[in-house]
């Protein structure tokens, strides 16, 4: 018996040693493959993050850009023990984004799980496939058409609120547009008006901004990666306070909406139509209503899955769009010639009328669409996206091993001089059909691309056109800060530190009566 026990212990020790040797050998091979790719120096524990650890938040973007310019077009960084391969050329980006094999988001997206769960932004595998298939019909053209009315209602409030800034020597337009976008997403995503534009300080918006800062801080400090350490930190405690605000808001609205749907169903059983329908109006459905009704193979979303998707819509649907509109307003205010062309297009469509735009009107705004696209080229709302590599692939001259992250530097991708001559120039004609046709299909990816592109990009474009149409028709814009004086804050969303400072002048006497 004793001999058997000794033999058994020996076998276990041998197998353990072989297992550890195998793991160490694989790890060593992985490191060798990664370090064949150029990149900044890496140190124990912190990897390549030394330049960021003691850098002010306002300098982070500039420090990152120096690294990118030095090591592009393809380079590696180590985030602690995690390898991250960064791409800046369209032919390299295409290998990743066009593939149906590399759809999983990078491990860093797990830092969003306590907030967004595994909704469309962060989900992987079968859950992402099934939810994408289930949710895609809620972005149908006819449903988007019904939301144009909401876009207009909230834009009218926006131009009215801006009236108090007429005659000022300059103001930050960012909070105005953020609250407008929040009003829009709340009513379209959840069917609930929250009157953010009448509220002096939105607790929800502040919580979103704080969460974005916390997530990036955690990424750049590897010792905060383990959950138990993060929870004990000051950032972890601040994270929990934000979560309480964000989840409390969406859970309350979902609960109220479910009760309202039951009441509506009971009323529809008693009457042939609702009061609104009797008056000739069709009740507008929100995304939440559609999600409560939709199912795949008879399976509906659970309450937790509903909360995840609504939280995702709320974040993606107001923060990214706010940034997109603000950057467009800023660039229009810097370029009077472009602004005048965009205004004349509005005049040709509306003939001086204050009426709300129709879907047909929005589709005719070809020049304004080019302005928006060029704004997103220079200042993409989401400046980077990352994937997890599930198998070895060849990119350029390198074999990149499974298990690492691949980060697409969209901000730099959009500045490729091979694809955009004079890449820093603001030129909406970059998106004339004949120019766009000559470019690499992955040279411009503000909404990502391929199978996992942004499901809400049509929604965002229609919203941005509507809001900008109202602003242009009512006000002449002048931006106060040159581009070289703007400090970029690149967290989850690309924002300007200090906001967007404008001077606005009414277009005509009619606009001052809003």
Q: Which two tokens stand for residue 7?
A: 């033999």
In which band, very low, low, confident or very high, does the pLDDT at 259 lie, cut at 50, 70 and 90? confident
Least confident of 96-105, 260-269, 343-352: 260-269
Query: Is residue 438's pLDDT more than 80?
Result: yes
CATH of the domain at 417: 3.30.43.20
Any domain includes 335: no
What 3-state class would DSSP assign to 345? Answer: helix
Find out whether 382 and 410 touch, Cβ atoms under 8 Å.
Answer: yes
Any domain includes 207: no
Q: DSSP string spanning 461-476?
A: HHHHHHHHHHHHHHEE
Any domain includes 407: yes
What is residue 511's predicted lDDT score, i.e. its pLDDT? 43
As beta bridge partners, residue 408 has 87, 385
What integer is the mean pLDDT of 479-502? Answer: 94
Query: Is residue 481's pLDDT more than 80?
Result: yes
Query: Is residue 17's pLDDT more than 50?
Result: no
What is residue 447's predicted lDDT score, i.e. its pLDDT? 94
Query: Is residue 361's pLDDT more than 80?
Result: yes
Any domain includes 463: no
Separation of alpha carbons 348 and 496, rounded Å: 33
Question: CB 271: neighbour CB atoms within 10 A?
Answer: 11
Q: Give the number of C-alpha atoms closer than 13 A to the C-alpha of residue 72, restricted to the C-beta side.
A: 22
Q: Which of residues 141 and 170 earns the better pLDDT score?
A: 170
Q: Write down the residue that tokens 């990666």 correspond to.
A: 225
Any domain includes 282: no
Decide: residue 200, CB within 10 A, 0-12 exposed, 13-18 middle, 19+ buried.
Answer: exposed
Decide: residue 290, CB within 10 A, 0-12 exposed, 13-18 middle, 19+ buried.
Answer: middle
What is residue 381's predicted lDDT score, i.e. its pLDDT? 96
Least confident of 100-104, 241-245, 253-257, 481-485: 253-257
User: Does the model's pTM come out above 0.95?
Assistant: no
Separation of alpha carbons 482 and 501, rounded Å: 10
Find out whether 135 and 120 touch, Cβ atoms under 8 Å.
Answer: yes
Least confident of 207-216, 251-260, 289-298, 386-395: 289-298
Query: Is residue 340's pLDDT more than 60?
Result: yes
Query: Is residue 208's pLDDT more than 90?
Result: no
454 marked among binding-site residues: yes
Any domain includes 48: yes
Separation of alpha carbons 422 and 271, rounded Å: 64
Find out whether 348 and 141 touch, Cβ atoms under 8 Å.
Answer: no
Measured at the alpha carbon of residue 109, what is the angle toward residues 108 and 115, in degrees to the nearest 5? 125
Query: Is residue 20's pLDDT more than 60?
Result: no
Any domain includes 26: no
Query: Is residue 275's pLDDT more than 50?
Result: no
Query: Is residue 6's pLDDT more than 70?
Result: no
Q: CB neighbours of 94 closer than 8 A, spacing ≥ 6?
A: 440, 441, 442
Separation of alpha carbons 413 and 91, rounded Å: 10
DSSP class of 447: T
Find out whether 81 and 61 touch, Cβ atoms under 8 Å.
Answer: no
In which band, very low, low, confident or very high, does the pLDDT at 178 lie, cut at 50, 70 and 90? very high
**Beta strand 82-87 with 405-409: parallel, antiparallel or unpaired?**
parallel
For 363-420, what is each residue's pLDDT tens digit?
999 999 999 999 999 999 999 999 999 999 999 999 999 999 999 999 999 999 999 9
What 3-state class would DSSP assign to 275? Answer: helix
What is residue 13's predicted lDDT score, i.e. its pLDDT? 53
Any domain includes 430: yes
Q: What is the mean pLDDT of the chain?
A: 87
What 3-state class would DSSP assign to 446? Answer: strand
For 440-474, what is each residue's pLDDT tens digit?
999 999 999 999 999 899 999 999 999 999 999 99
Q: Which of residues 186 and 383 earns the better pLDDT score?
A: 383
Strands (E), 50-129: 74-79, 82-87
What is residue 514's predicted lDDT score, i.e. its pLDDT? 42
Separation of alpha carbons 64 and 70, rounded Å: 10
Domain count of the fold of the chain: 1
For 31-55, what is each residue's pLDDT tens digit?
999 999 999 999 988 899 999 988 9
Residue 135 phi, psi dihedral angles, 5° rounding: -90, -25
Q: DSSP string spanning 133-165?
A: HHHGGGG-HHHHHHHHHHHHHHHHHHHHHHGGG
Nearest alpha carbon to residue 104 among 402, 505, 439 = 402
What integer is the mean pLDDT of 353-367? Answer: 95
What is residue 317's predicted lDDT score, i.e. its pLDDT? 82
Query: Is residue 293's pLDDT more than 90?
Result: no
What is residue 270's predicted lDDT score, i.e. its pLDDT? 57
Q: Catalogue the long-range contacts made by 507-512 (C-beta closer than 8 Å, 24 or more residues apart).
A: 507/343, 507/473, 507/474, 507/475, 507/476, 508/352, 510/354, 511/159, 511/354, 511/473, 511/474, 511/475, 512/163, 512/166
Query: Is residue 513's pLDDT more than 80?
Result: no
Q: Which two tokens stand for residue 214?
A: 């916390």
Least confident of 1-5, 60-64, 326-330, 480-484: 1-5
Domain that holds residue 42: 37-101+383-445
For 72-130, what is each residue's pLDDT tens digit?
999 999 998 999 999 999 999 999 999 988 889 988 889 999 999 988 888 888 888 88
Query: Is residue 154's pLDDT more than 50?
Result: yes
What is residue 12's predicted lDDT score, i.e. its pLDDT? 54
What integer is the mean pLDDT of 212-228? Answer: 89
Query: Is residue 477's pLDDT more than 60?
Result: yes
From residue 431, give the alpha-carbon distance in Å to each of 91, 203, 368, 435: 20, 38, 11, 6
């Amino acid at each position: 018996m004793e001999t058997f026990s000794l033999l058994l212990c020996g076998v276990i020790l041998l197998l353990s040693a072989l297992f550890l040797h195998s793991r160490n050998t694989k790890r060593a091979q992985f490191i060798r493959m990664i370090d064949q790719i150029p990149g900044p120096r890496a140190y124990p524990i912190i990897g390549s993050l030394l330049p960021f650890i003691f850098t002010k938040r306002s300098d982070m973007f500039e420090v990152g850009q120096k690294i990118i310019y030095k090591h592009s077009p393809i380079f590696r960084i180590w985030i602690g023990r995690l390898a991250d391969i960064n791409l800046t050329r369209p032919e390299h980006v295409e290998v990743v984004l066009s593939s149906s094999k590399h759809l999983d988001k990078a491990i860093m997206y797990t830092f969003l799980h306590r907030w967004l769960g595994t909704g469309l932004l962060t989900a992987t595998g079968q859950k992402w496939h099934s939810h994408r298939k289930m949710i895609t019909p809620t972005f149908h053209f006819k449903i988007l058409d019904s939301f144009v009315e909401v876009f207009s209602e909230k834009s009218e409030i926006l131009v009215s609120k801006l009236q108090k800034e007429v005659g000022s020597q300059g103001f930050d337009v960012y909070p105005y547009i953020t609250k407008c976008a929040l009003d829009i997403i709340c009513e379209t995503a959840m069917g609930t008006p929250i009157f953010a534009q009448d509220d002096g300080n939105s607790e929800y918006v502040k919580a979103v901004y704080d969460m974005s800062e916390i997530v990036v801080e955690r990424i750049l400090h590897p010792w905060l990666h383990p959950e138990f350490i993060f929870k004990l930190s000051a950032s972890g405690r601040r994270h929990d306070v934000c979560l309480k605000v964000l989840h409390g808001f969406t859970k309350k609205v979902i609960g109220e909406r479910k009760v309202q749907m039951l009441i509506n169903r009971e009323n529809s059983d008693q009457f042939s139509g609702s009061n609104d329908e009797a008056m000739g109006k069709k009740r507008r459905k929100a995304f939440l209503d559609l999600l409560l009704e939709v199912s795949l193979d008879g399976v509906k979303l659970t309450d937790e899955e509903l909360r995840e998707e609504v939280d995702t819509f709320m974040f993606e649907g107001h923060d990214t769009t706010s940034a997109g509109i603000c950057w467009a307003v800023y660039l229009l205010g810097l370029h009077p010639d472009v602004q005048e062309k965009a205004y004349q297009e509005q005049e040709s469509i509306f003939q001086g009328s204050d009426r709300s735009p129709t879907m047909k009107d929005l589709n005719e705004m070809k020049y304004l669409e080019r302005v928006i696209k060029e704004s997103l080229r220079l200042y993409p709302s989401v400046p980077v996206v990352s994937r997890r590599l599930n198998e070895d692939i060849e990119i350029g001259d390198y074999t990149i091993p499974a298990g690492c992250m691949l980060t697409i530097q969209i901000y730099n991708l959009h500045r490729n001089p091979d694809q955009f001559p004079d890449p820093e120039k603001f030129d909406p004609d970059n998106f004339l059909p004949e120019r766009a046709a000559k470019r690499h299909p992955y040279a411009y990816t503000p909404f990502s691309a391929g199978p996992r592109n942004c499901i809400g990009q049509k929604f965002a474009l229609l919203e941005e056109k509507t809001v900008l149409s109202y602003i242009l028709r009512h006000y002449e814009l002048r931006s106060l800060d040159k581009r070289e004086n703007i400090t970029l804050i690149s967290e989850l969303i690309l924002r300007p530190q200090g906001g967007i400072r404008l001077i606005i002048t009414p277009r005509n006497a009619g606009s001052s009566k809003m």
